[in-house]
């Protein structure tokens, strides 16, 4: 049995993985949701372009990668923005819970570093097919061009851990069993 480590995004703390942890437990897996501090030495959740920093990469690809309505929005402070872009595919009770799990996470030190990928490490990229923040076509491109993998798609918005925790848990078990 393989333990699963779940790392939160820039807008949600480890509490956002609560339902996936429970769903993985029901499937016989031990999951650990890690709460990361905003620290300059942490890895960011973006498939890096080896010749660019995160800031350079997102700056070069801003329009291709992000929904134009998302750019400049603050889902941490603005419930309506979070509901429209992050949790639009959730029922009311799930959305209310998800809003309570938000927290700011900015690993600023990493944003200015170039990070080499390790091609010997097996990778899986999950595309949120109805994402309103990072365009799904951009996610597919990153998976294929930067990780050399065919992405797996889930019919969810930006946060499948919130809207489809059981399906995401199933996918994680499938991936772990292939490894």
The 8-class DSSP code of residue 144 comes to: H
* Residue of higher predicted confidence among 22 and 37: 22
pLDDT of residue 165: 97
The pTM score is 0.89
| Kind and range of the H or E run holding 174 | helix 165-178
| Domain spans in the chain, listed from the N-terminal domain onward | 4-178
pLDDT tops 70 at residue 176: yes
CATH of domain 4-178: 3.40.50.1820
In angstroms, rounded to a whole number, what is the distance separating the alpha carbons of residues 160 and 153?
11
Task: Tell me the average pLDDT across 88-97.
Answer: 98
pLDDT of residue 69: 95
């Amino acid at each position: 049995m393989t333990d699963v480590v779940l790392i939160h995004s820039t807008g949600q703390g480890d509490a956002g993985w609560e339902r996936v942890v429970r769903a993985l437990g029901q499937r016989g897996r031990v999951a650990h949701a890690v709460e990361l501090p905003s620290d300059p030495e942490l890895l960011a959740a973006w498939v890096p372009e080896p010749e660019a920093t995160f800031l350079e990469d997102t700056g070069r690809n801003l329009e291709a990668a992000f929904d134009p309505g998302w750019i400049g929005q603050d889902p941490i402070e603005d419930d309506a923005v979070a509901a429209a872009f992050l949790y639009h595919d959730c029922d009311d009770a799930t959305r209310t819970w998800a809003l309570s799990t938000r927290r700011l996470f900015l690993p600023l030190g990493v944003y200015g570093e170039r990070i080499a990928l390790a091609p010997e490490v097996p990778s899986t990229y999950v595309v949120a097919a109805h994402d309103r923040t990072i365009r799904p076509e951009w996610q597919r491109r990153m998976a294929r061009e930067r990780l050399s993998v065919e992405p797996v798609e889930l019919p969810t918005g930006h946060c499948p851990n919130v809207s489809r925790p059981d399906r995401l848990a199933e996918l994680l078990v499938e991936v772990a069993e292939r490894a």
